[in-house]
Structure 1
Amino acid sequence: MKTVKAFAPATVANVSCGFDILGFAIEGMGDIVQLNEKESPGLEVSSISGDDGKLPLDAAKNTCAVAIQAMVEDLGINPGISIQLEKGLPLGSGMGSSAASAVAALIAANEFLSSPYEKKDLLPFAIAAEKIACGAGHADNVAPSLLGGFVLIRDYHPLDVIKLNVPQDLYCTLLHPHFELKTADSRSVLREAIPLKHATIQSGNVAGLIAGLYEEDYELISRSLRDVIAEPYRAVLIPGFYEVREAVKGAGALGMGISGSGPTLFCLSKGKEKAIQIAKAAEEVYQSIGLGVDVYFSAINTDGGYVLTE
C-alpha cells in the first residue's frame, strides 16, 4: 500500500501592518500529515495526535480532508486515502495551526497522486480548507506555509500572491502565553470603518515594510512594523502586551506584533543573538506577571512545506 508523509511549517500572519495580506513562515515548528492508500474510494481521517481530542475526525469538517477533497474534485477522481495528522502546533495559538494541517495534507496528496500540480497551484485548495477552520478563506497563513518566506496576498479575485525578499539575517522570536484567545473574540473587537488617516498610515507602513525587506534595511523594517487598524483593539485582550513590547524593544527587537489573531506575539530582529536576548527579556516579564509562556526563535523559513522522506 502506498504511503506519503509531508510537513508544513507554522506561520505569522498580518505581520503588524499587513492585516490579512502579509505572512511569513517559521523554521522547525509545524504539522505532519501521512497519507495511506486504502482499498475503498473516498477520504477518511483515521487518526489525529497532539490535539487533546479537540479536532474532528469527520472528513467533512477536518481541514486536511477538506483540502484534499477540493483537490481530487478538481482532478475529477475519487481515490481511497486514509489520513493521519500529527499536530505539532497548539490550537488557537495564532501560529497558523489549521493552515499547516491543510498545507501538509495537500503536499502529501500531490505527491501521492504523482504531482499533478505545481506547488503554488495548491493554494486555492488550502484556502478552501481555511474556510472550514476559520469561517473565512484568508491566505496569509496558508500561502507562507505552502511557499515559505514572506508572502504578500495582493488580491483574492483573482488570487494574486507574491513571494517577497527575505533578508538573510532576519530572525523571529515567538511568544506563546499560556491562555486561549478565540479568533472570534479577536475579530469581534475590530472596527467596521477605518478613518482615512489610519488607512493612509497603514498603507505607508505596508509599503515601507516591503521596501525594507527588499533593501534589507532593518531600520526601515523597524519603523514600518506598526499597526493602527487591528492591534490597538486586540492588544487589550492579551495580558502583558505593552510590558512585553517595552522589554523586547529594550532587548533589540525591530518590532513586536500579534501573530494572526493572537495570543502568540512575534518579534523580528537582526541576527540570532538578538532573538535569544529578546526571548529572555520576554520570559522575565511573563514570570513577573505570573503567566506561563512558550518561547521559540528561528530564522525565516524560505522553503515552506515539503515531502518527508524516510
Structure 2
Amino acid sequence: MKSIKVFAPATVANVACGFDVIGLALDNPGDEIEMSLSDTPGIKILGINGADLPLEPSKNVCGVALQALMQKYEDKNVGFEMTITKNIQPGSGIGSSAASAAGAVVAANILLGEPFAKEKLVRFAMEGERLASGSAHADNVAPAILGGFTLVRSYTPVDIVALPTPPNLWVTVIHPQIEVKTSDAREILKQKVLMKDAIKQWGNVAALVAGLYRNDYALIGRSLEDVIVEPVRSILIPAFHDLKIKCKEAGALGGGISGSGPSVFMLSTSEETARIVANVMHEVYAPLGVDFKVHVSPINQSGVKVISQ
C-alpha cells in the first residue's frame, strides 16, 4: 500500500469528572488526512486545508507525532507526504490537535504494515499533544485511536483502559466561536484541592465507570459532576450554567465542559433527545450575540477510520 486517506474523529476529554483521564470519541466532526509513502526519508506536509497551521513538521502536531513513531521504526529510509483537512477548529475543545496527531500515526502505521499496536500509537500521538498544549495528555488521543470511552489509568507508565459504551448513547456539543487555549485553561487551575472535593470527584469517576459497565444511565447522569475543574473554567464560557440547567431539563443525562472548552457537551439516551438538546442549545445561545456551532453525534466505536486506500 502506497497511499491512504483516514478520518480522525473529534473527542470529548475529561467527560465532566474525569479530568485528564476519561475521554470519548465522536462520529462527527473529524479531520481527514491523505498520506503517501515516499522514497525520500523524512516527513513532508504538502498542505493544510481549513486552518492556518505550520507546514514545518517540527511545529505541526502531525509531524511531531510521526517523528515519535519513526524514532521507534527500524527502517530510517522511509518517508511520508501528507495533506491535512481540518474540519475541527483549533481551540474548540473537542480534540482538534489530538485528531490530527491520531490520524497521522494511524495512517502511517497502516502504510508500514501495522508494526505498532494501538497502545503504542497513543504514545506517539501524545507527543503531538505535548507540542499543542505543553502537556502530553492522552484523554483525547486515546479515544481518537481506540474509539468509544477510554480511561487513562496511569501516565507513568502509560496505561490505557478501553471502557464499554452503553447502547443508544448520543452526544450533543455546542462550540461557541471563541477560542480557549488549552495552555491558558490549564494555567488558571488551582494547584491544591480540598480533600472533601477530591473524595467527591473520586466517587463520581468510579461511579461513571460503573455506570458505563452496567448500562445504568441514571448512575451515569448522577456521576457527570465536576467539582474541581469546572467551577474555575466555566467562567470562560458564556451562559454555561444556564445552558447546563436547560439541557438537563430537556432530557439530557448531564454533561460539562469538553476538554478545556469553550465547547460544552451533553449526553443523552437517544438521538431524538440529543436533537431536542441541540435545539435548547440554539435557544440559549441565539440571543447572546456569540456565533456557535452545534454537533449531534453517536459515540464513535472504532476511532480513526480508513476512508480510502
Band of TM-score, shorter chain: over 0.9
Please list every run of 5 or more consecutive structure 1 residues that lacks an aligned counterpart in the other structure: none
Assess if the C-alpha contact under 8 Å between 1:249 and 1:255 holds in 2.
Answer: yes
* Equivalent in the alignment of 1:300: 299
Instruction: Give the Cα–Cα distance (whole angstroms) in 2 for the partners of residues 11 and 104 of structure 1.
Output: 13
* Equivalent in the alignment of 2:225: 226
Residue-by-residue CA offset, 1:123-150 (whole Å, 9 max, x unaligned) = 1101112111111100000000000000
Secondary structure of the corresponding residue to residue 172 of structure 2: strand
Shift of 1:116: 1.1
2:65 to 56, 64, 67: 67
Assess if the C-alpha contact under 8 Å between 1:111 and 1:307 holds in 2.
Answer: no
Instruction: Give the Cα–Cα distance (whole angstroms) in 2 for the partners of residues 38 and 299 of structure 1.
Output: 36
Residue 36 (structure 2) pairs with residue 33 (structure 1)? no
Instruction: Give the Cα–Cα distance (whole angstroms) in 2 for the partners of residues 185 and 49 of structure 1.
Output: 26
Instruction: Give the Cα–Cα distance (whole angstroms) in 1 for the partners of residues 301 and 290 of structure 2.
Output: 32
Instruction: Give the Cα–Cα distance (whole angstroms) in 2 for the partners of residues 247 and 231 of structure 1.
Output: 17
Residue 256 (structure 2) pairs with residue 257 (structure 1)? yes
Residue-by-residue CA offset, 1:1-34 (whole Å, 9 max, x unaligned) = 9222222100000000000000000013111111
What residue identity is the alignment partner of 2:136? Answer: G
Q: Within 5 A, what are the aligned runs for 1:93-104?
A: 93-104=92-103
* Equivalent in the alignment of 1:44: 44
Instruction: Give the Cα–Cα distance (whole angstroms) in 1 for the partners of residues 128 and 75 of structure 2.
Output: 19
Shift of 1:96: 0.4
Instruction: Give the Cα–Cα distance (whole angstroms) in 1 for the partners of residues 257 and 136 of structure 2.
Output: 20
Q: Which moved more, 1:223-232 or 1:78-87?
A: 78-87
Instruction: Give the Cα–Cα distance (whole angstroms) in 2 for the partners of residues 38 and 75 of structure 1.
Output: 15
Residue 155 (structure 2) pairs with residue 151 (structure 1)? no
Assess if the C-alpha contact under 8 Å between 2:94 and 2:258 holds in 1.
Answer: yes
What residue identity is the alignment partner of 1:104? Answer: G
What residue identity is the alignment partner of 1:60? Answer: S
Instruction: Give the Cα–Cα distance (whole angstroms) in 1 for the partners of residues 269 and 37 of structure 2.
Output: 45
Assess if the C-alpha contact under 8 Å between 2:50 and 2:85 holds in 1.
Answer: yes
Assess if the C-alpha contact under 8 Å between 1:12 and 1:25 holds in 2.
Answer: yes
Assess if the C-alpha contact under 8 Å between 1:65 and 1:83 holds in 2.
Answer: no
Instruction: Give the Cα–Cα distance (whole angstroms) in 2 for the partners of residues 257 and 166 of structure 1.
Output: 18
Shift of 1:118: 2.4
Q: Within 5 A, what are the aligned runs for 1:235-254?
A: 235-254=234-253
Q: Which moved more, 1:181-190 or 1:209-218?
A: 181-190
What residue identity is the alignment partner of 1:235? Answer: S
What residue identity is the alignment partner of 1:185? Answer: D
Secondary structure of the corresponding residue to residue 122 of structure 1: helix
Assess if the C-alpha contact under 8 Å between 2:28 and 2:295 holds in 1.
Answer: no
Residue-by-residue CA offset, 1:261-290 (whole Å, 9 max, x unaligned) = 000000001111110110001110101222
Assess if the C-alpha contact under 8 Å between 2:119 and 2:160 holds in 1.
Answer: no
Instruction: Give the Cα–Cα distance (whole angstroms) in 2 for the partners of residues 217 and 18 of structure 1.
Output: 18
Secondary structure of the corresponding residue to residue 8 of structure 1: strand
* Equivalent in the alignment of 1:116: 115
Residue-by-residue CA offset, 1:39-82 (whole Å, 9 max, x unaligned) = 4221111111110x2x1111111111111111111013331211
Instruction: Give the Cα–Cα distance (whole angstroms) in 2 for the partners of residues 200 and 38 of structure 1.
Output: 52
**TM-score of the aligned structures, taking structure 2 as reference length:** 0.97
* Equivalent in the alignment of 1:24: 24
Assess if the C-alpha contact under 8 Å between 1:43 and 1:65 holds in 2.
Answer: yes
Shift of 1:111: 1.3
* Equivalent in the alignment of 1:58: 56
Please, what is the CA RMSD of the aligned residues?
1.2
Assess if the C-alpha contact under 8 Å between 1:33 and 1:105 holds in 2.
Answer: yes
What residue identity is the alignment partner of 1:77? Answer: D
Q: Which moved more, 1:2-11 or 1:272-281?
A: 2-11
Q: Which moved more, 1:73-82 or 1:223-232?
A: 73-82
Secondary structure of the corresponding residue to residue 30 of structure 1: strand
Instruction: Give the Cα–Cα distance (whole angstroms) in 1 for the partners of residues 299 and 276 of structure 2.
Output: 17
Secondary structure of the corresponding residue to residue 60 of structure 1: helix
